Structure 1
Amino acid sequence: MELTDKFEIKIFILFLLKNIKEPLEFSMINDIVIQDGYVNYFDFAICFAELLENGQILEQKRKEDSHPVYVITPAGEEAVSNVQMKLFTTVREKALRSALRLLAFYKTGNRISSDLEELPNGYMLSCKIEDKDKVLMNLQVFLTEKYYADKLRKNFDDRAENVYKGVLSLLSGDVNYIFDE
């Protein structure tokens, strides 16, 4: 489900900023807002600029570098408090969960990536988790059906940390209900 109404997109942006509760760079806010596919980049950029212009988001300069950070203002908090219920509960919950996970990944330096490459007889799904210094997991799976490949990719993108824990559990034998023993 993609949000296309500017009012809904603005509510969505303000809702996330209100619940994250910390100053963020534009690129981080962009990544958080568009990661689940509810908002496209162009709509985000337009709505973000309007929220900034209307005083619902405030730009703050930082001393340590040239990248400003942004916070929700009291006017933005009041606006979103009155109308946040207009966003579907599932959209709010999933987006906030994804936002907090992405923020945690960025803070620890972890990055997730996935790629789906079309091959002559199917698809190669590549899933990777990296931190600042090393690759934590690099997994490739060949799949014959595009629908299934897309489903697995989406699951990895939504729950990379759980996939990682699951792989470790399976490899260590801690999850042995799958094995015939």
Structure 2
Amino acid sequence: MARVGFIHDKLDIKFLVLYIMSRVVAPIDMPTLTDLTMCDEGVDYFAFAEAIHELVDTEHLALEDDRYSITEKGRKNGAICESSLPYSIRVKCDKNVAKLNSRLRRDAQVRSERIPRGDGTFTLVMALDDEHGNLLTIEMLAATEQQCDRLAEQFKAHPEQIYNGVLDVLLTDFDGKEQS
């Protein structure tokens, strides 16, 4: 049975991977890279897995903490070869990478860190940044690990609401009137 799609061999897969990796804004894990690369029916998973291994061995990709990033060598060689990828594949990749980059940027701007204390409680440090720097950092005491995780989860889900709520309280007089 003939394979469908534009990507047919390991070299094509390598070009595709380098194309994708040159456009992501942060290191990504293997499942994410797999999802992005399987954008064409012609991509064979086993050839893909081999291609990733070879790209790491040849130092086109770096693997650190189970996350892949492109090296300068990979960026340079990928740029030379990216025009060999079909236009329709590049458009599809660009669309998928744009969605991922949006999520990666948000994850980088909304952070939390759990710090154990000697008494069995935790300090939860939550930070919200924008493109100009830090907007808000809050440290809170959490009685249990579960409470700490729940607070961090809610902060990541609603950072803008929390920021606006803090601003609202800080800008309101105790008599209920908003200050200017």
- Normalising by structure 2, we get a TM-score of 0.51
Tell me the distance in 2 between the aligned counterparts of 1:50 and 1:70. 13
1:10 matched to 2:14? The reply is yes
1:89 matched to 2:93? The reply is no
Amino acid at match of 2:20: L
- Contact kept? 1:4, 1:43, Cα under 8 Å: no
TM-fit CA distance, 1:60 = 1.4
SS at match of 2:63: strand
Partner residue in 2 for 1:31: 35
TM-fit CA distance, 1:37 = 3.0
1:70 matched to 2:74? The reply is no
1:19 to 19, 23, 27: 23
Tell me the distance in 1 between the aligned counterparts of 2:62 and 2:104. 22
Change beyond 3 A, Cα 1:3–1:33: same
Cα distance per residue 1:147-174 (max 9 Å; x no partner): xxxxxxxxxxxxxxxxxxxxxxxxxxxx
Cα distance per residue 1:49-90 (max 9 Å; x no partner): 1101110000112xxxxxx21100000001111110000111
Tell me the distance in 1 between the aligned counterparts of 2:98 and 2:43. 17
Change beyond 3 A, Cα 1:2–1:90: closer
Change beyond 3 A, Cα 1:94–1:32: same
Partner residue in 2 for 1:80: 78
- Contact kept? 1:32, 1:102, Cα under 8 Å: no
1:1-181 alignment, distance < 5 Å? 1-61=5-65, 68-101=66-99, 104=102
Tell me the distance in 1 between the aligned counterparts of 2:62 and 2:19. 15
Segments of structure 1 that go 5 or more residues without pairing to the other structure are 62-67, 110-131, 133-181
Q: Which has the larger radius of gyration?
A: 2
- Contact kept? 1:25, 1:69, Cα under 8 Å: yes
How many residue pairs end up in the alignment? Answer: 105
TM-fit CA distance, 1:105 = 6.6
TM-fit CA distance, 1:96 = 2.0
Change beyond 3 A, Cα 1:58–1:87: same
Tell me the distance in 2 between the aligned counterparts of 1:4 and 1:50. 17
Amino acid at match of 1:27: P
RMSD: 2.5
Tell me the distance in 2 between the aligned counterparts of 1:3 and 1:35. 10
Amino acid at match of 1:19: R
Tell me the distance in 2 between the aligned counterparts of 1:24 and 1:103. 10
- Contact kept? 1:9, 1:47, Cα under 8 Å: yes
